[in-house]
Amino acid sequence: MELHITPALALLREHHLLDHVSNLTDFTATSVSYDSRKVKSGTLFFCKGNFLPKYLASAKEKGAIAYVAEKEYPEGEGLPAIIVNDEQKAMSLLGAAFYGYPQNDLFIIAITGTKGKTTTAYFADHILAQSTNNHIALFSTLDRVLGNKPEDKFKSDLTTPESLDLFHDMRAAVDNGMTHLVMEVSSQAYKKNRIYGLKYDVGIFLNISPDHIGRNEHPTFADYLHCKEQLLVNSAKCLINAETEKFTDVYYTAKATTQPEDIFLFARRGANIELPDNAQIDFEYRNDLEDLHESEFELTTLTEKAKQLNLDSRYKTSVPGDYNEGNAVAAIIASGLAGASANDAVETLNHVHIRGRMEMINSNTHGTIYVDYAHNYASLKRLLAFLKRQTNAGKVTVVLGATGDKGISRRPGFGKALTEEQPDEVILTTDDPGFEDPMTIAREIDSYIDHDKVKHIQFEMDRETAIKKAIDGSEKDDIVVLAGKGEDPYQKINGEDVPYPTDVKIARDYINELEK
């Protein structure tokens, strides 16, 4: 991989990003990096994010050949300085060019939504693994899969990584023979221009509800929605859940850049939807069965363009929760647009397991423990409502916390969900507090709970202790819900990822200890 200065500058000019160049020389970069620790001879270095000039000095010392920044730095004296008006956009464009535009060799399905992205991604990944003979890459919140060897699979750090990492991984996937990619796309990826210039073959819009709104994320819900909608603007074909909030706004955003024949809508049968213009529901699905282990639904095509995909069938999924049926439907349709058949979905959906999503841990002497990533109002309310419908639960205990520094809007959302679903007991604890005091966060969540409806609330800032307390206080027919962290193996505390055993491991180990 390499990038010559002449086409690099031409690309920046084309996108009106280039301000000026100082100390210009004729060079070819043989490496790109925004991390000074990874710089080697021949590296084009990007001064991005929480940048300190000493990083540029370090990069220069290690062999950086030039740097890209929004202003010149004395620490880079003697190096060609490519000065741009938006560092993130420039890095995305030049990263794609350096890695030889690997996106052009992949059929890309991109997924956005406040909830359900990871589940939908895993459903689509399994379907396409069947239809492509395992030539499928996956970029999800949980995992990044670049090939079929063990070393090609690793834990994700971000839902959507920095652009240089993204295009590096796409290039690795292509070099490993992958032909398709399923990827989650966060609103922050658009807010911070990590994916500027990237286009998708199919873009899925699952839903939108207030989340990620706060001082370090989106300033308003309108900004959050706008960033989510950019996925549709950058997709050749758009697939939209017509039951989403702000559906009209979302639909018109897609229609502004996409022909109506390339916009597909799906909804649950009987859903009360007000359709704009001449829009039609293309696919509807009906729930036939749901329990704590699987769900079964029927998918029906309603329009001619939908019928051409031949996806009418009855499907079973192994991921419980009626709310996951819409995620499965989105995956089936998107995979169909990528060439998969109904049979590919029928044969695979019932074998999908997603770590930290509705993990059930049985106990002989205590309650049944459910571990789920539910981390905002909508997902917590849906989870609790489903469990109450599906079980003859005695006491329901919920253990949860809220993240620090971001997702501030989740705190009143948690209070609202708990008030509406009225668990018998709540233990407020720590969940990635960042630079905030976890007790302060817990007290804030508590302030939004109606204590006339939820009477028993405890505060235990050691999450492991909180989990054990919840289990100790449960009996055979009770339910204990561990919400928020799923299988995250760390706690984000004061800028560090502090190792954490995961909710699943703590609960399983403690149950085993109690039942010896």
Residue range 166-192, pLDDT digits in tens: 999 999 999 999 999 999 998 888 988
Give the C-alpha distances (Å, rounded to integers) separating 99 from 170, 172, 371: 9, 9, 39
Name the strand (E) or helix (H) holding 399: strand 396-400
83 with 70: CB under 8 angstroms? yes
Spatial CB neighbours of 511, under 8 Å, sequence gap ≥ 6:
361, 363, 366, 369, 471
CA pair distance 468, 359, nearest whole angstrom = 17
Q: Is 3 exposed, middle or buried (0-12, 13-18, 19+ CB in 10 A)?
A: buried
Q: Pseudo-torsion of CA 457, 460, 464, 469, nearest 10°?
A: -50
**pLDDT of 291 strictly over 70:** no
476's tokens:
């055979």
State the pLDDT at residue 141: 84
Beta strands in 129-216, from DSSP E residues, in sequence order: 136-139, 143-145, 153-155, 180-184, 200-205
Please, which pLDDT band fits residue 90 given cuts at 50, 70 and 90?
Answer: very high
According to the model, what pLDDT value does residue 215 have?
60
Please answer whether residues 67 and 45 qualify as being in contact, where contact means their C-beta atoms are separated by less than 8 angstroms. Answer: yes
Strands (E), 74-157: 81-84, 107-112, 136-139, 143-145, 153-155
Least-confidence region, from 72-76, 104-108, 213-217, 310-314: 213-217
In sequence order, which residues have a C-beta less than 8 Å from that of residue 432 and are 6 or more positions away? Answer: 401, 403, 404, 485, 488, 491, 492, 493
Amino acid at position 53, single letter: P
CA nearest to 282, candidates 298, 300, 270: 300
Measured CA to CA, the distance from residue 224 to residue 230 in angstroms comes to 10
Phi-psi bin for 380: left (phi > 0), alpha (psi -120 to 50), beta?
alpha
What domains sit in the chain, N to C, each tagged with a CATH number? 3-98 (3.40.1390.10), 102-282+322-343 (3.40.1190.10), 359-514 (3.90.190.20)
d(CA 412, CA 445): 6
Quick one: pLDDT at residue 21?
Answer: 96
Q: Tell me the C-alpha to C-alpha distance, in Å, between residue 259 and each of 108, 111, 252.
A: 19, 19, 11
Whether residue 436 contacts residue 461, with contact meaning beta carbons closer than 8 Å, is answered with no
Contacts of 80 (CB under 8 A, 6+ apart): 5, 21, 22, 23, 24, 25, 27, 65, 66, 67
As a whole number of angstroms, the distance between CA 111 and CA 117 comes to 6
DSSP state, 367?
Answer: P
Cα 281 to the chain's mean position, in Å? 26
State the amino acid at position 314 in one-letter form: R
Q: Are strands 456-459 and 425-428 parallel, antiparallel or unpaired?
A: parallel
First to last CA, the chain: 57
pLDDT above 70 (res 15): yes
Length of the chain: 516
Mean residue pLDDT of the chain comes to: 92
CB atoms within 10 A of CB 157: 11
Q: How confident is the model over 349-363, as a mean pLDDT? A: 86
Interval 386-393 mean pLDDT: 76
Q: Has residue 26 got a pLDDT over 90?
A: yes
pLDDT, average across residues 255-279: 93
Please, which pLDDT band fits residue 210 given cuts at 50, 70 and 90?
Answer: low
Strand, coil or helix: 470? helix
- CA separation for the pair 125, 118 (Å, rounded): 10
Residue 319 confidence (pLDDT): 81
Element (H, E) at 426: strand 425-428
Contacts 24+ apart (CB under 8 A), 333-336: 333/239, 333/264, 333/266, 333/283, 333/309, 334/109, 334/111, 334/124, 334/202, 334/204, 334/239, 335/109, 335/124, 335/127, 335/128, 335/131, 336/309, 336/310, 336/311
